[in-house]
Structure 1
Amino acid sequence: MSQTTLTPDIQAQLEQLKDIHLPAPISWWPLAIGWWILIAIALISFIAGIWWWFKKSSRLKKSVLAELHGLPSDNPILFISELSALLRRVAIYRYGQAYSVHNLSGQKWANFLNQGDKGIAMPLANMIANAPYSNNVSSGFDANALRQEAERWIVHQLKRGKK
């Protein structure tokens, strides 16, 4: 093994060398342009999704209320039967299979319509639940009162969204 000796000239040059300095660590801010584009796309998508959801909800409510106001009130049994079917469709949309709304009938259906602070008044809920199976409904039948209660119930159910 031979040992090399450095000449004074090389030794002087080595002493003039400086250590390698690492660059400063890369910061996360400010963001690169690609991240700004991604954030903008995400924000636009979020706003468009909310707008679409509100439009869909509004369109559904308008459609259901138009159907409610289009029910024929000259035949009480037909009116109440169609009203009950409309309320059941709204309830199935709102609750899905959670309450088994499609299986409710009679007093259970009336109790379901009456529940909550915005429920349909119990005498009217009983009329809606039992009139389709009755021959005589004309006593106590008030189409406007039924429409108002049903409209209030529908608006409340559709305002709350799906469960």
Structure 2
Amino acid sequence: MNMVRCMLKDKNVPKTFWPEAVNWSVHILNRCPTFVVKDITPEEAWSARKPSVSHFKIFGSITYVHVPDNLRKKLDDKSIVCIYLGISDESKAYKLYDPLKKKIVISKDVKFDETKQWNWETKEIDKVKNSKLIIDTYACSTSKHSDEENDEHSESNESQCD
């Protein structure tokens, strides 16, 4: 649950989205090495295929979903702003949330902006504060720390990653 808590806090996603954060964290953890299954990931042990992580994106980040020509008028926007929640269970597409219409959207035609997040109070896009990405190889999760925290942890993380 620490991973879920971090994902929700990192992009200020409301706690009501905790089930989506759990689904995404399970998806990530199944594609990370563990101590139980040596030299392979749980997904690889189950399916006998090396899993791809190219589709991994930051939970809660801003996305722009393409609106097809037949669903918009000439002067309408070509995309809508959504929030990334993970991947769809039904198809090979992204699961997104439209905060203005308050609906779940499933789409493959998506552009990501992982440097921004949704401001739930003003209903606008906010730029994420300056932070550096630190990878915890033991937990196979990523978290963002402020510059002060990063200075404290930089030496210990460098020795762990070698």
Query: TM class, shorter-chain normalised?
Result: under 0.3
Please give the TM-score of this superposition, normalised by the length of structure 2: 0.22
- In terms of fraction of residues, the more helix-rich structure is 1
- In terms of fraction of residues, the more strand-rich structure is 2
Choose 1 or 2 for highest CA Rg: 1
Higher relative contact order (CA 8 A, sep 6+): 1
Please give the TM-score of this superposition, normalised by the length of structure 1: 0.22
